[in-house]
Amino acid sequence: MINILDAQLASGTATDSERNALLQARSLMSKQQLEQGKLSQAVSVFSPGMGNSVSYQQQHNVLVSAGNTSNAGNTYFSALRMSSAIVIKMDIGIGYAHSFLNGIYIYAADGSKQLLKNRNYHCLYYSDAIARSEAVGLMQEAILDSMPGVDRSVFSDQARLLAIRCVADAYELNQIENLQNNLRRLT
């Protein structure tokens, strides 16, 4: 869009007020692209595979990668949520009639990009509630897997409580603030 506005400005047919409006729009778009670039760079510290174009969707409190559309018309993108402890990356596909959760990856939020647990899905309808529930289950498994000598059935309830807290923070706390706090912890 910046190229289009530049072409319009170069044509010399704009009035002074139109030229001012075009310059303001260009300035705002440049700032937004710069912020998007910084956001993408910051997210890449914690999770691989989000690409160079990450945006924050305030209404859903989630960081989202740019989407890719297949020849069949399906759109695929990744969504990311983080707490101070974990990063939850979800691969989502939007088809003709439904949205699908294609995979969940849980990483440590310490900048190591250590994959704690992941699961891929086939034909699992997407909803925030389903994704959240799946993330809790994966985090619970990751906690239990980290304690090889412990009877899983004895500690399962406590592991679930810890998993619920980690995932709740990733869903309920502001993602931009979580990202900034996690970046500060690394420096």
Q: pLDDT tens across 89-110, in order?
A: 999 999 988 999 999 999 999 9
pLDDT band of 25, cuts 50, 70, 90: low
CA 157 to chain centre: 28
Higher-pLDDT residue of 20 and 120 is: 120
Higher-pLDDT residue of 3 and 185 is: 185
The domain limits of the chain are: 2-41, 45-186
Q: What is the pLDDT of residue 40?
A: 85
- Give pLDDT tens digits for 45-86: 899 888 888 888 889 999 999 989 989 888 999 999 999 999
Per-residue burial over 117-147, b = 16 or more CB atoms within 10 Å of its CB, e = otherwise: beeebeebebeeeebbebbbbbbbbbbbeee
Cα separation of 125 and 105, whole Å?
Answer: 17
Q: What is the pLDDT of residue 34?
A: 38
Above 70 in pLDDT, residue 147? yes
Above 70 in pLDDT, residue 164? yes
Above 70 in pLDDT, residue 187? yes
Cα torsion angle, 149, 154, 160, 165, sign: negative
